[in-house]
């Protein structure tokens, strides 16, 4: 299980990485808010330990932005003892739990276990990108008043593309994340992208799935 740690105090960040790795998770740290958001949006993490006070973009903004992009992984906020208001705002922004600094390794691991057990319970209603909205419970993709239902795999592919915003997602990555260990090939990815293109055009969206030769796919907005 991959755990993302976002903490600007390097000593603390490195200590958390050690604690989490020793408990057989796979932890990686970044040291500022924007890098944290970028990593969260990459879709490679299962949970996140996020400091509130960060340079560039604070923890609350990071949670709000990742939730807005449909990233539903559990988030444990780290707060200073005095910042009750920040704690409340952080939870309101979409974090799942918080822990006050300083803390014991055991407490951190207990909370992490609780959060990762609850994985999947964080209910986000929708992801949005430009003029489209993806309903994460009904799997309906809509643009203005038009909407279309996505099949299971179409939904997974679309959710990953929308979560990645305008960043390139490789066919290999989509294959691994949507099809897992099956013997599906990149042809399957191409087929589903083509279904999704038809559906995007059917609902009249300006969003296009652009192919970048040898690299993969990304979303673009027509006319921008």
Nearest approach, Cβ of 205 to Ca ion (angstroms)? 40
Nearer to Ca ion, 8 or 140 (CB): 8
Q: Which of residues 116-155 bind Ca ion (CB under 5 A)?
A: none
Phi–psi pair at 110, nearest 5 degrees? -65, -45
Taking each helix axis from N to C terminus, what angle separates 152-163 and 186-202, rounded to the nearest 10 degrees? 80
Q: Which of residues 153-212 bind Ca ion (CB under 5 A)?
A: none
CA–CA distance, 218 with 22 (Å, rounded to integer): 36
Nearest approach, Cβ of 51 to Ca ion (angstroms)? 4
Q: Name the region of 165 (left: φ>0; alpha: ψ -120 to 50; beta: rest).
A: left
The set of residues, in sequence order, having a beta carbon less than 8 Å from that of 191 and lying 6+ positions away, is: none
- Count other C-beta atoms under 10 Å from residue 86's C-beta: 18
Nearest approach, Cβ of 34 to Ca ion (angstroms)? 14
3-state secondary structure of 222: coil
Cite the DSSP H helix spans in the chain.
10-22, 33-41, 59-68, 84-92, 105-117, 152-163, 171-174, 186-202
CA–CA distance, 3 with 186 (Å, rounded to integer): 28
Nearer to Ca ion, 93 or 150 (CB): 93
Q: For strand 75-79 and strand 132-135, is the pairing parallel, antiparallel, or unpaired?
A: unpaired
Our finding on whether 12 is near Ca ion (CB under 5 A) is: no
Pattern 48-87, Ca ion, x by CB under 5 A = ---x-x----------------------------------
Nearer to Ca ion, 77 or 141 (CB): 77
Our finding on whether 14 is near Ca ion (CB under 5 A) is: no
Nearest approach, Cβ of 64 to Ca ion (angstroms)? 18
Instruction: Tell me the residue number closest to Ca ion, measured at CB.
Output: 53
Our finding on whether 15 is near Ca ion (CB under 5 A) is: no
Taking each helix axis from N to C terminus, what angle separates 84-92 and 59-68, rounded to the nearest 10 degrees? 10
Counting residues that bind Ca ion (by CB under 5 A) gives 3
Nearest approach, Cβ of 122 to Ca ion (angstroms)? 24
Nearest approach, Cβ of 9 to Ca ion (angstroms)? 6
Nearer to Ca ion, 60 or 69 (CB): 60
Our finding on whether 8 is near Ca ion (CB under 5 A) is: yes
Q: Which parts of this chain interact with Ca ion (CB under 5 A)?
A: 8, 51, 53
């Amino acid at each position: 299980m991959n755990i993302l740690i976002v903490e600007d105090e390097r000593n603390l960040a490195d200590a958390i990485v050690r604690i989490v790795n020793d408990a057989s998770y796979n932890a990686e740290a970044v040291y500022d808010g924007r890098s944290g958001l970028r990593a969260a949006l990459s879709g490679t993490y299962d949970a996140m330990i996020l400091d509130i006070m960060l340079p560039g973009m604070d923890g609350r903004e990071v949670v709000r932005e990742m939730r807005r992009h449909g990233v539903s992984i559990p988030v444990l906020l780290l707060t200073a003892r005095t910042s009750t208001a920040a704690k409340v705002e952080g939870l309101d922004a979409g974090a799942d739990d918080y822990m006050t600094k300083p803390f014991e390794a055991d407490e951190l691991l207990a909370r992490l276990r609780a959060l990762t057990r609850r994985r999947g319970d964080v209910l986000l209603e929708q992801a949005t990108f430009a003029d489209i909205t993806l309903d994460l419970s009904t799997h309906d993709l809509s643009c203005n008043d038009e909407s279309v239902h996505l099949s299971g795999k179409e939904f997974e592919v679309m959710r990953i593309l929308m979560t990645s915003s305008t960043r390139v997602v490789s066919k290999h990555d989509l294959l691994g994340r949507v099809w897992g260990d099956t013997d599906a090939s990149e042809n399957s990815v191409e087929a589903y992208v083509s279904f999704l293109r038809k559906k995007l055009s059917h609902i009249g969206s300006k969003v296009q799935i652009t192919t970048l030769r040898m690299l993969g796919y990304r979303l673009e907005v027509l006319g921008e």
